[in-house]
Amino acid sequence: MFNYSMVKLVRGHSTKLDKPLREAILDLYKPFRFTPCFLHRFLEKRLQTKQKLSVIIEFERTAVFFHSFLMEQLLNGHGKSCVRNRFSSISCCSAYITPERLEFILSHCPSIKRIYLNRKIKALRFGHKAQKPGQPTKNTPGLLTGKGVTIAIIDTGVFQHEDLAGRISGFVDFINGRANAYDDNGHGTHCAGIAAGNGLLSNGTYNGMAPEANIIGIKVLDRTGTGTIESIIQGVEWCIKYNQNHPSHPIHIISLSLGTHATKYMTEQDDPIVRMVEEAWKSGITVVTAAGNDGPDPFTIASPGVSEEVITVGSLDTSHIYPSETFNTAPFSSRGPTIYGKRKPDLLAPGVDLISLRTPGSFIDRFQKSNRHEKHYTKMSGTSMSTPFCAGAAAMLLQSDVSLTPNMIKQLLVEGTSFVNADGVGQIDVERSLDLLRRRNV
């Protein structure tokens, strides 16, 4: 019989292992129920030295490069353990690690603050077949177009669609390492079109909110729309460093149409992905993120949308009124408060059957053929769609006044909302927000 060494590891270091990691370690014992007892000790020893866990290691907020270098010395060369990436912005590194090495570093490195399981992150598209006619994004005539503003779409990539021609000003791929812009899923391109498509192939019918804004595609999700905490952190930190290296033409807005079920920590800032997006916010980038698609139950706001700092967006269904709602909040849209008891989302934006850019041959395009609209467009729903709608609205505000800080933009968008529901969350109203800005500038 085995001696439950990994159970002892979890119990002995429970304060430094987040709950998903503790559960992942204990789950390693599940196959033993079907294994003869005389093999248990051998198999347990093998798991300790051969089973690879993907983790994020957080250090006390001092020299992260020194601690990462120390981790490399302690991990590299020990079977499957190795350091993968360093994230100086939040004093973390990512690593593959075996249970045996995990116990070793916890026992010998007092500078480790906490270790997190590198959990899966998914695009927040609501998976249904469109039942109604699609809806254009509807940039209000006469308003600003986002010219001179750059929006980073951190997602599945961006297809070089003609409605974005000449405005994809950058691309980076943290999944496959490719240099040229592409999207093998289709979700990121649809989001980019809602934010900044110019409607060229539809004679302006399906233009985005900020049809002259520039787009930078940052691929952190694979062809199925799945990534990890590590890949999202890589994408956000890349934006921060990009701005440090390109101060004359920075990224102004990050649009994050992705998330994962929030894990309860002491505070939301203990969540590594929340800490990363808040670093981007502090650096001057307006971060807009999806609330999640787990409604209508309360306490379902996804991470990183639980952050108090960033703008968290829920979905409206602008084509139907639901009798159970004060106004037409989409049933799937996640509701607040957050698991920390904070009010969220910050505002609501259209998110049901929005027509935007199609990526021919992509994962979604092949499996959702019925949602195609004409030749160059397709319909999707979700808080994923509401998020770039809000990002485009933020771009219009920035075009009007480039000196606006992320906090000012959030305040203008929230104070400018209309049709506030029983939870105190209003519908985005760009004209009212712009009017507030004009009055403040008089």
Going from N- to C-terminal start, the domains of the chain cover: 5-118, 122-441
pLDDT at position 160 over 70: yes
Residues with active-site annotation: 155, 187, 384
Q: How confident is the model at residue 40 (pLDDT cuts 50, 70, 90)?
A: low
pLDDT, tens digit (0-9, with 9 covering 90-100), for 63-85: 666 777 778 777 877 778 888 99
Q: What is the DSSP secondary-structure string of 6-26? A: HHHHHHHTGGGB-HHHHHHHH
Q: Please report, to the nearest 10 degrees, the dihedral formed by the alpha carbons of residues 128, 130, 134, 136 taken in order.
A: 10
Q: Specify the CATH number of the domain 5-118.
A: 3.30.70.80
Mean pLDDT over 337-364 rounds to 95
The pLDDT value recorded for residue 132 is 53
The pLDDT value recorded for residue 23 is 94
The pLDDT value recorded for residue 46 is 76
pTM of the model: 0.93
Q: How confident is the model at residue 38 (pLDDT cuts 50, 70, 90)?
A: low
The pLDDT value recorded for residue 207 is 93
Return mean pLDDT, the chain. 89
Listed residue (237, 240, 263, 236) closest to 250, CA to CA: 240
Question: Which are the contacts of 11, defined by CB distance < 8 A and separation ≥ 6?
Answer: none
Q: How confident is the model at residue 322 (pLDDT cuts 50, 70, 90)?
A: very low
pLDDT at position 325 over 50: no
Q: Specify the CATH number of the domain 122-441.
A: 3.40.50.200
- Return the beta strands (E) in 241-345 as ranges: 253-256, 258-259, 286-290, 311-316
Burial 236-247 (b: 16+ CB within 10 A, else e): bbbbbebbeeee
Q: How confident is the model at residue 320 (pLDDT cuts 50, 70, 90)?
A: low
Gap between the Cα atoms of 347 and 312, Å rounded: 7
Listed residue (127, 93, 120, 129) closest to 109, CA to CA: 93
pLDDT, tens digit (0-9, with 9 covering 90-100), for 86-115: 998 899 999 999 999 999 999 888 889 999
